[in-house]
Structure 1
């Protein structure tokens, strides 16, 4: 087996070019693609998820792109001990999805992967296609171990990217919306698909497609501390489920700087630039223009403008969220229906895998 190329610059440059071509083609041929995307149920979603991924999922699904939305409940066990909340967090994710405008349909399936055992059966053959050294060198795994502060690393963490490969390939997903930091995981999935096809499909059509990255156009959103990416675990996030008053209180504590003259300078004034960008994402006005209007109004005016813009943007979502909270039976049914449909896809793929590996009895 040739080694996986984890050269981030080389991989990123190629991924950018492929992503541009996919975006252009999706607009013309939406049903040619199947998107696999999702989240781990570690808590409710925040505005970083909303601007960074949820809006894009809504856009793609409304274009008619078949979309699989995975709730990666098993993967929570790799670096979290609080498994007691997985079920509740799963349901809260569904509420966030539906509130943001994602609608379960023939084209959109929402499901937890613990309810799709056929998908997880792909783990064993996939494990035989990757070396221990390749898993240990995966830069995303290294970063996740470091950020989680793990001292005793379980084997599940190292096989995490293989589990992701199962999630993508069981449904023959050929497009995966990701950021630059997730490209090594996707590169491993592409390697597994290629090695499986080369080894087991010499005399037949390939079983798996080569999934491509659809890179996010939304820049990384910093948390309220202004120094790190917005994250549930870092306590620097504004959750979609927050009230308008809670949102105002959180933004009031956001870090800016001492210069009253507001300018958009991401390099030298990242905290101020982040708030300007969030306002821009809500109002669609350029951050430079927003900064010019605020002028020497200082951090107080900047935060006031973000509070008003964000609460206005999220008001319909929060109203829908309040309605869905009152209907837990519907949320559960969405998950059960999605699981049933995902299993039907997984059963078909697993059957093809068995046939390719000469395991049919």
Structure 2
């Protein structure tokens, strides 16, 4: 199993429910490689210190939330530079028309992100991320489904183009999509996204958390009037944290009337605090030991790079890039 997280800013509840929680649930069940995709982050971040800080924070977040480095590899994408070599080989197999149809690319440009070549070619580097470790299972959000289809197509093209008829190098990966996780709403009602500036951070607490939650957009229904919980952004977030009994209790209070959005927001703050209490404590302890975090990343990179180098030896041989080896054998 392989997956990555982009360190393009503060990790938020959308990242947690859309990806991180699933990674934490699965990383002990499979041989797994998880990486912080700082090459991908260069599509939007051109500040050295910010990129370094966000990369460290991403690692810190995974460990604080319960990632067990003895069970799976956690590392930084750029510590395995072979992935960019594989991406270049893939670039020569992918029609431009395939990338021009990219929904994620179009969406990000529509959000105002610069239409640079890195963003355009993002799915090809993502395919290299997956295939260089022999990935067969890729946990992703529904918005990444097209990118996994491109990855599958690249694997098939490589196998057809360079491999003998009786042998394939790359397995065809399958996406693991958790359909029941709806889009996590941000404080303005749109999808929670760093691009929109509408996020609630995973480790927000105290006044910061309260300010963000209390600013969640709601309608103007009076306090005493019944309300439809399924049309409320606050309740959409409550459902992600609350158990069934709590969800039903709060939903009934909405429908009964006399229950204000301010009451619901206070419930949400309580639920967030309870859910992340232990993780916040672990994060505070980890901050006292940054060398431990770096050791985890170094060890994860060692495992990942060993796997990547083994794969690239086969790729170079099949493509014809092991020229020195060929000359030695020929002589």
1:293 pairs, out of 253, 273, 289, with 253
1:233 pairs, out of 191, 195, 219, with 195
Name 2:8's counterpart in structure 1: 42
Against the structure 1 CA distance between its residues 308 and 318, is the aligned structure 2 distance closer, same or farther, given a 3 Å change threshold? same
1:121 pairs, out of 80, 85, 102, with 85
Deviation at 1:277, TM superposition (A): 2.9
For residues 49-92 of structure 1, the C-alpha deviation after alignment (integer angstroms, 9 at most, x for no partner) is: 22222221111123x21221111101112233334311111110
Deviation at 1:290, TM superposition (A): 2.2
2:260 aligned with 1:284: no
Deviation at 1:147, TM superposition (A): 1.7
Contact 1:263 1:288 in 2 (8 A): no
Map 1:211-290 onto structure 2 (within 5 A): 211-216=173-178, 217-226=180-189, 228-259=190-221, 260=223, 261-265=226-230, 269=231, 272=232, 274-285=233-244, 287=247, 289-290=249-250
Contact 2:210 2:269 in 1 (8 A): yes
Deviation at 1:289, TM superposition (A): 4.4
Deviation at 1:305, TM superposition (A): 1.0
Deviation at 1:342, TM superposition (A): 0.7
Name 1:337's counterpart in structure 2: 299
Q: Distance in 1 between matches of 2:130 and 2:64?
A: 25
2:41 aligned with 1:79: no
| Structure 1: 5+ residue stretches without partners | 1-34
Q: Distance in 1 between matches of 2:263 and 2:194?
A: 27
For residues 127-185 of structure 1, the C-alpha deviation after alignment (integer angstroms, 9 at most, x for no partner) is: 111112222222221212222332xx322222111000110100011111122221121
Q: Distance in 1 between matches of 2:121 and 2:242?
A: 42
Contact 2:203 2:276 in 1 (8 A): no
Q: Distance in 1 between matches of 2:82 and 2:67?
A: 26
Q: Distance in 2 between matches of 1:69 and 1:281?
A: 24
Against the structure 1 CA distance between its residues 148 and 67, is the aligned structure 2 distance closer, same or farther, given a 3 Å change threshold? farther
Name 1:187's counterpart in structure 2: 149
Contact 2:18 2:141 in 1 (8 A): no
1:57 pairs, out of 3, 23, 48, with 23
2:317 aligned with 1:352: no
What TM-score do you get using the length of structure 1 for normalisation? 0.83
1:160 pairs, out of 91, 110, 122, with 122
Map 1:2-21 onto structure 2 (within 5 A): none
Deviation at 1:262, TM superposition (A): 3.1
Q: Distance in 2 between matches of 1:309 and 1:81?
A: 36
Q: Distance in 2 between matches of 1:173 and 1:289?
A: 43
Name 1:103's counterpart in structure 2: 68
Larger Rg: 2
Q: CA RMSD in A?
A: 1.7
Name 2:57's counterpart in structure 1: 92
Contact 1:197 1:207 in 2 (8 A): yes
Q: Distance in 1 between matches of 2:199 and 2:103?
A: 25
Greater displacement, 168-177 / 234-243: 234-243
For residues 273-332 of structure 1, the C-alpha deviation after alignment (integer angstroms, 9 at most, x for no partner) is: x32232222222264542103432111111111111111111111111111111111111
- Alignment length (residue pairs): 316
Contact 2:152 2:173 in 1 (8 A): yes
| Structure 2: 5+ residue stretches without partners | 326-331
Q: Distance in 1 between matches of 2:269 and 2:303?
A: 41
